[in-house]
A and B are shown apart, each in its own frame.
Chain A
Amino acid sequence: AQKITQTQPGMFVQEKEAVTLDCTYDTSDPSYGLFWYKQPSSGEMIFLIYQGSYDQQNATEGRYSLNFQKARKSANLVISASQLGDSAMYFCAMRELDNYGQNFVFGPGTRLSVLP
């Protein structure tokens, strides 16, 4: 079964606007971590933000914030004040921490295009 779901294969946003990229996950482990990565056309994977399952507050990193709704098992990425350089693929990933050694599971990704 799919453990990470990203329902938006592609998204468009106007420059300077905010955008939310959806991510839902499935796990029965109480300890897990959720990650977002950005992959520009160059192919490198860039770590953006992390949310632990026990974290009380939503994670923030500059223009990136994670809207973590544990009961709904969702971890949406919010990018504020979009820039042209934000155009890329975005992957949500999960690690189930009780099974260290079981590695990251990646979602299918969302392609974000920022329009001038």
Chain B
Amino acid sequence: SAVISQKPSRDICQRGTSLTIQCQVDSQVTMMFWYRQQPGQSLTLIATANQGSEATYESGFVIDKFPISRPNLTFSTLTVSNMSPEDSSIYLCSVDLPTGGTYEQYFGPGTRLTVT
């Protein structure tokens, strides 16, 4: 498994501001992923971040709203820009780790964001 940390663990922000969430992994990984989990909902993939290339965004998510950086193989950031109350969610980063011929996905502890 991997040890994944996220900062901040939670934050309360005012609408119109931006928040950058950091994700740190204790080993080098090719792919990192960012998910959003709105209150009472399941996880929705925002984007996939590979080191050295632009992030790949899922339908409904755009780079201007959720810019992502991936400067090296152990770190990534997700910025939630121009926030509104609808952005209140848990944001989770995850990584793929090869395990017995397949890949398993491990998650960070999440960042609980409340926008007022």
Answer yes or no: do A and B interact. Answer: yes
Q: Which residue from A50, A103, A106, A108 sits with its C-beta under 8 Å from B104?
A: A50
Q: Which of A45, A107, A108 has the most CB of B within 10 A?
A: A45
Chain B min CB distance to A105 (Å): 9
CB within 8 Å of B: which A23-55 residues: 33, 35, 37, 42-47, 50, 52
Q: Quick check: which of A14-22, A67-75, A77-85, A93-101 contacts chain B, the rest being far away?
A: A93-101
Chain A min CB distance to B44 (Å): 8
The residue of chain A having its C-beta at the shortest distance from the C-beta of B44 within the complex is: A106
Q: Within 8 Å of chain A (Cβ to Cβ): is B80?
A: no
Give Cα A26 to B109, complex, Å. Answer: 29
Q: Is A47's CB under 8 angstroms from B104's CB?
A: yes
Q: Within 8 Å of chain A (Cβ to Cβ): is B79?
A: no
Chain B min CB distance to A108 (Å): 5
Q: Is A44's CB under 8 angstroms from B107's CB?
A: yes
- Give chain A residues whose Cβ lies under 8 Å from the Cβ of B48: 101, 103
Q: Which residue from A35, A44, A91 sits with its C-beta under 8 Å from B109?
A: A44
Tier of interface size on chain A: 20 to 34
Given contacts A52-B102, A97-B102, A100-B103, contact A45 B42 (CB under 8 A): no
Give Cα A50 to B102, complex, Å. Answer: 10
Q: Is B42's CB under 8 angstroms from A108's CB?
A: yes
The residue of chain B having its C-beta at the shortest distance from the C-beta of A53 within the complex is: B102
Give Cα A46 to B103, complex, Å. Answer: 16
Q: Is A33's CB under 8 angstroms from B112's CB?
A: no
Q: Is B43's CB under 8 angstroms from A91's CB?
A: yes
Give Cα A42 to B101, complex, Å. Answer: 31
Give Cα A100 to B104, complex, Å. Answer: 12
Given contacts A33-B102, A101-B48, contact A109 B42 (CB under 8 A): yes
Q: Which of B48, B102, B107, B108 has the most CB of A within 10 A?
A: B102
Give Cα A42 to B94, complex, Å. Answer: 17
Give Cα A107 to B104, complex, Å. Answer: 17
The residue of chain A having its C-beta at the shortest distance from the C-beta of B92 within the complex is: A45
**Interface residues, chain B, with chain A CB atoms under 8 Å away:** 1, 31, 33, 37, 41-45, 48, 90, 92, 94, 99, 101-110, 112
Smallest CB-CB A-B distances: 4 pairs: A45-B107, A43-B110, A44-B109, A106-B42
